[in-house]
Structure 1
Amino acid sequence: MTNPLSLLYRDEHLVAVHKPAGLLVHRSKLAGGEREFLLQRLRDQLGQRVYPVHRLDRPTSGVMVFALDSATAARLGETFTERRAAKRYLAVVRGVGPVHEWLDYALREEDGSRPKAEMPALEALTEVKRLDSVELPVQVDRYPSSRYSLMEVRPLTGRRHQIRRHLSRRGYPIIGDAKHGKGNHNRFFAERLGCPRLLLAAVGLSFEHPVTGRCLTLSCSLDAAMTTLFQHFGWAGHLPSDRADCAEAPLSLA
């Protein structure tokens, strides 16, 4: 029997949920033979229709918000389209990442409808900060030891695979990224550290509630595998918790 989804927040207009890693949000042409989707699981759990207003890649875990009616979905969808929602991610990357940097590499869309060379390059902006790092006395590639970093990531635009592509382009691929990462490091984390997944989690989301006008700030804990890894690396102080806060003050994206 499938475990119920963890609900982070719910009112008569919205529901926020912790999306597990590896679960597709909804049916698509890329779904193949998949039979389980977040949208259907949440609908069945709540006993009512839910409306997605933003997306998370299949391998990414973390907070997702859904509207409970079409009018709210339309208003909240505009909030995300107009970049009035603040997003916070945690990522484990190879190497010692930059202390603080803005990554502004333009990106071509990766939707599979046309060759990438025919797709226009679109503005993409991501803020990254190194929160911690660790050096392991293990040779994974040509160096006698291996270094990894915990990065806080805040995307200001919403291009497909933006965080993964930006960090890889900068030279710090996310562990577990099969397409943009490094296979030997991915295998090391899967086989030796119990993390056979993309180590990217959406841990924070803030936006103006489309009905009440209050600033809703959501925080999402990590799953068991990432939590254990953080504890092993001495990063427990950076573990987020499940929380939902409402404030009268307007949201600031600064």
Structure 2
Amino acid sequence: MTATLATTARPAPLAVIYRDARLIAVAKPPGMLVHRTALARGETRFVMQTLRDQLGQHVYPVHRLDRPTGGILLFALDSEAAAALTRSFIEQQVTKRYLAVVRGWGPEAISIDAPLREEDGIRPKAEMPAQAALTHFRRLATAELPVAIDRYPQSRYSLMEARPETGRRHQIRRHLARCGHPIINDAKHGKGTHNRYFRDHLDCPHLLLSSVQLTLTHPFEGRRLTLEAAPDDHFSALLVRFGWQAHLTRNDAQWQTPGESMTPAEPSDALS
């Protein structure tokens, strides 16, 4: 009788976007928790632990991304750097840029200045004080699908750029839902019929929100750092499928001039 030894596959390493002696930035996969929490029932893989094992040293988180959000996540490699970077985020000295795919044709440009109550999943919302929250949005491109997902014969979607000035929990998701354009696969604020269509027919199984750029001043060297990362494979493939591949990378012209619609019609609220 022979025994078969079970082998445990080593977790895939995190993609490193930038690294120096004091800090490191990685691409966080959507759906992955940054660290262990009370909500981590059954989870076995976390960004902090994976990165620590990958580098063979401790890492210090300096900001956060919600579990379903993918993209750039910055860590310090020592406590002094952690304090300096955390201060940069608190003092709003870091510019953050996200891409999101939303339902309907979103506004060409809008700033949502709406306080939000913290959502920690433990305390009742009524006990949580509302905190200032400001996000700037710009529509980059639109698409119209000849599919009756909802009550209309066509279905419309937008690629939105989000620049949050504050860092409240679920801020971008809640602000987009507030203006009537929830992010695709946002189970709480979106609509199930659209979410299911993207999962079942467009190979998009997760929230279509990704942190694609961080710009900050290096706390010890004084130089400006611009960290960039394309969205994950599912998100990027959708951008190509919708003809939005120009927005996989950014330049100043794209920020100044939103992308053109895939259809000649002007956006309206009728299908949003």
Instruction: Give the Cα–Cα distance (whole angstroms) in 2 for the partners of residues 18 and 36 of structure 1.
Output: 15
User: Residue 47 of structure 1: which of 53, 56, 59 is its match?
Assistant: 56
Match of 2:26 in 1: 17
Match of 1:144 in 2: 153
Matching of residue 28 in structure 1 with residue 42 in structure 2: no
Match of 1:244 in 2: none
Matching of residue 67 in structure 1 with residue 85 in structure 2: no
User: Residue 89 of structure 1: which of 91, 94, 98 is its match?
Assistant: 98
Match of 1:252 in 2: none
Matching of residue 192 in structure 1 with residue 205 in structure 2: no
Runs of 4 or more, structure 1, over 4 Å off, are none
SS at structure 2 position matched to 1:79: helix
SS at structure 2 position matched to 1:206: strand
Q: Tell me by how many angstroms 1:221 deviates.
A: 1.1
Match of 2:249 in 1: 240
Match of 1:112 in 2: 121
1:65-87 superposed Cα distances (whole Å, 9 cap, x missing partner):
10000111011111111111100
Tell me the amino acid that sits aligned with residue 90 of structure 1. L
For 1:166-181, list aligned pairs within 5 A: 166-181=175-190
Tell me the amino acid that sits aligned with residue 5 of structure 1. L
Instruction: Give the Cα–Cα distance (whole angstroms) in 2 for the partners of residues 93 and 182 of structure 1.
Output: 11
Instruction: Give the Cα–Cα distance (whole angstroms) in 2 for the partners of residues 113 and 221 of structure 1.
Output: 34
Match of 2:88 in 1: 79
Instruction: Give the Cα–Cα distance (whole angstroms) in 1 for the partners of residues 85 and 114 of structure 2.
Output: 28
SS at structure 2 position matched to 1:226: helix
Tell me the amino acid that sits aligned with residue 176 of structure 1. N
RMSD between aligned residues: 1.0
1:33-90 superposed Cα distances (whole Å, 9 cap, x missing partner):
2111000000111111110000001110000110000111011111111111100000
1:83-139 superposed Cα distances (whole Å, 9 cap, x missing partner):
111000000000000000101111111012321122111111000000000000000
SS at structure 1 position matched to 2:237: helix
Instruction: Give the Cα–Cα distance (whole angstroms) in 2 for the partners of residues 87 and 99 of structure 1.
Output: 19
Q: Tell me by how many angstroms 1:240 deviates.
A: 2.6
SS at structure 1 position matched to 2:239: helix
Tell me the amino acid that sits aligned with residue 136 of structure 1. L
SS at structure 1 position matched to 2:54: helix
SS at structure 2 position matched to 1:184: helix
8 Å Cα contact 1:222/1:240 also seen in 2: no
1:169-223 superposed Cα distances (whole Å, 9 cap, x missing partner):
1000000101111111000000000001000000000111111111111001111
TM superposition score normalised by structure 2: 0.87
Query: What runs of 5+ residues in structure 2 fail to find an aligned partner?
Result: 1-8, 251-272
Matching of residue 222 in structure 1 with residue 222 in structure 2: no
Matching of residue 100 in structure 1 with residue 100 in structure 2: no
Matching of residue 204 in structure 1 with residue 213 in structure 2: yes
Percent identical: 61
